[in-house]
A and B are shown apart, each in its own frame.
Chain A
Amino acid sequence: MFLRIEKGSSAPISRQIAHQIASLCAAGSLKPGERLPSVRELARDLGVNQNTILRVYERLSGDGLLEMRQGQGTFVADGAKANASPGQRARLIEELRQIGRQAQSLGLSHEQIHELLSVALGELDEQAAHDLAGNLS
């Protein structure tokens, strides 16, 4: 599991880590049932306080994305890739709101913003199709 911490960012470190784990789950790089590094291991690898890592694992477990099993470790929950939890939705809305504000400050209308979102989603689909083709060949 590759994670990257950006120092000096305006996003707190716990949020950076939570986001990246959620993205890895969504992208399928972390599969349901897969075991994550222990709190200690990840703390040492990233050079991050163990309590921070523990909080992230707990929060993502609360969101239903991970599952902390007593004495066994932390695993990607079954069905983690299915629909986003309320907590994840709330955070996504917050991010979209910031993007929306940015777009409005550029003078774009609602229609134009929707259009740009469609373009971005289209590009993601293309990318996915391309990756799939690459894997098959």
Chain B
Amino acid sequence: MSQVSNSDGSAKYAIELQGVCKSFRRTQVLSNLTMRVERGKTFAFLGRNGAGKTTSIRMLLGLLKCDQGEVRVLGLDPATEALKVRARVGYLAEDQQMYGWMRVHEIVRFVAPFYATWDHDLALKYLREFELPLATKIKHLSKGQNVRLGLVLALAHRPELVILDDPALGLDPVMRKQFNRDLITHLQGEGRTVFYSSHLLYEVEPVADEVAILDGGRLVRQADTETLRRDVKQFVLDRVALATVRDDMSVLELQRAGDDVAVTVQNAAAVRALLDREGVGYRVVDLNLDEIFAAYVAGVNDDDAGAAMSVEELAPQR
């Protein structure tokens, strides 16, 4: 029955989800989510607000149980071995709240005893590198300093896997870039697995080895960003010609303008070859990552039925 690996230390994947479903009362938040994150990779988990990102992350940490399916983190089931998971995972919650009245050096000493592998020298080194003021009360830290303090607390026990829930949320562009540098220097540079969520594909592009796009509780695509760019393109062609090739297109979005249709597909190479073979005239548009993201999370839901309908409508009159 078990399709996920269960060996403890040697699991090939840092994270495995297999057919995971989760509902809150009658609202289904995750449906049949299957996803694997290789060890040592930096993995960005993308979706709009409410797509199910935080629910998935809480499940990885054993804070929520799934209704169906299997979850493995470093080969462990977080639902039954939450403490073992927490010992080996660093976690930064979305908008993490820390005791505002504590000073920076106090919270570091407060958190340390929770972890057997806590490395106090490493914590001090990060505090120094992140230029965090030790004697300042947490409530007086800036948003950027707050995130960096959260990172120190998530990293000082040398976790194999780091899970960050929208860490760049609310950071200004300068701090975002600095945050990316921190990720690259302190995490990628040391070969750790990073799993972090965001709702901005172009923000994660410089850093992520791979991205997964979640929409309405389903995984709609997992790939590296260069593959995404290569596969997802917009074709502008005549509406009558479209009917002859529509079946072989994996359509994400379809727009009409007069006699032309703009079709965003996720199998660009095949579509291009097909159009060339059929001798259909077309124009290809390279999309930026925002447009690609929008095609997946905004195009598909509303337009899939609509797209099929409009193509029928478009078919040549007999």
Residues of A within 8 A of B (CB): 5, 7-14, 40, 43-44, 46-52, 101
In the complex formed, the residue of B with least CB distance to A51 is: B209
Docked CA distance A8–B173 (Å): 13
B180 CB, min distance to chain A CBs, angstroms: 4
User: Do A49 and B184 have beta carbons less than 8 Å apart?
Assistant: yes
Contact of B181 among A10, A47, A51, A101 (CB under 8 A): A47
B287 CB, min distance to chain A CBs, angstroms: 6
B41 CB, min distance to chain A CBs, angstroms: 9
Decide yes or no: A48 and B207 within 8 Å by CB, A8-B202, A14-B226, A40-B189 being known contacts: yes
In the complex formed, the residue of B with least CB distance to A46 is: B206
Inter-chain contacts of A7 with B (CB < 8 A): 202-203, 205-206
Docked CA distance A47–B42 (Å): 14
User: Do A12 and B189 have beta carbons less than 8 Å apart?
Assistant: no
Residues of B within 8 A of A (CB): 42, 177-178, 180-181, 184-185, 188-189, 202-203, 205-209, 225-226, 229, 283, 286-290
Contact of B207 among A9, A11, A40, A49 (CB under 8 A): A49
Inter-chain contacts of A47 with B (CB < 8 A): 177-178, 180-181, 184, 206-207
Inter-chain contacts of A44 with B (CB < 8 A): 181, 184-185
B193 CB, min distance to chain A CBs, angstroms: 14
Contact of B286 among A10, A14, A46, A50 (CB under 8 A): A10
B285 CB, min distance to chain A CBs, angstroms: 8
B223 CB, min distance to chain A CBs, angstroms: 13
B186 CB, min distance to chain A CBs, angstroms: 10
Docked CA distance A46–B177 (Å): 8
Docked CA distance A50–B188 (Å): 8
Contact of A8 among B177, B286, B288 (CB under 8 A): B288
